[in-house]
Amino acid sequence: FTSHIDGIMTAPHVNVTATLKGYADFNADVATAVNFKTDQSASVLDNILAELPFLGLQNLTKDEMFMNPVTFYFGGTPFTVKPGFSCQLKAYHIGLLKGSLRVGLSTKLLLLGVMNFDTDLGIMNNLSAKAVDVQFTPPTWMLFTNHFEMGMMLQPTMWLSGSFGAMKDMEMGFALR
């Protein structure tokens, strides 16, 4: 810590430096167990696309979303089309499965942190960590099954709603699976 004042009409120049030297034990041991007792099942994951922001599909849901209607004419006959889209994501499994999975990581961390505050430069931080004595337990698993399949099924649907001349409120959909 240093402080210096040049005069009564100026703010003092202050410099504070703090250091952290530390040691940390890190140990993660993860184990799971699964037991699928039914031969097959499927479940709808409501709006799972909103939970996966890296896909860029947050606004897509199983509810239909329609765009503004577009009206155009063939001769004197008006066509009005209102495109829409819906999307559903399902998780499913087929077959019986019983098993477990285990993975582990253990290490010691040497930490060094420095914080410096200067009234002219502001605050500067630096934190570094060095892992020593790293021990990694590779994934081990034990599975009992005859046949097992697990997957995700994306079901997008394209909707066209509109009118053709005197016919009103027609709707047509195309679905993919």
Q: Looking at residue 54, what is its pLDDT? A: 55
> In the structure encoding, which two tokens stand for residue 101, read together?
């999975």
Distance CA 131, CA 109 (A): 5
DSSP-based helix, strand, coil % in the chain, nearest 5: 5, 75, 25
> In the structure encoding, which two tokens stand for residue 145, read together?
């099954």
Q: Looking at residue 34, what is its pLDDT? A: 86
Question: Over the stretch 109-138, which tens digit does the pLDDT of each residue have?
Answer: 999 999 999 988 889 999 999 999 999 999
Residue ranges in the chain whose pLDDT is less than 70: 40-63
Q: How does 69-104 read in b/e, with b if 16+ C-beta sit within 10 Å? A: eeeeeeeeeeeeebebebbbbbeebeebbeeeeeee
Q: Looking at residue 163, what is its pLDDT? A: 80
CA 80 to chain centre: 38
Q: Looking at residue 47, what is its pLDDT? A: 54
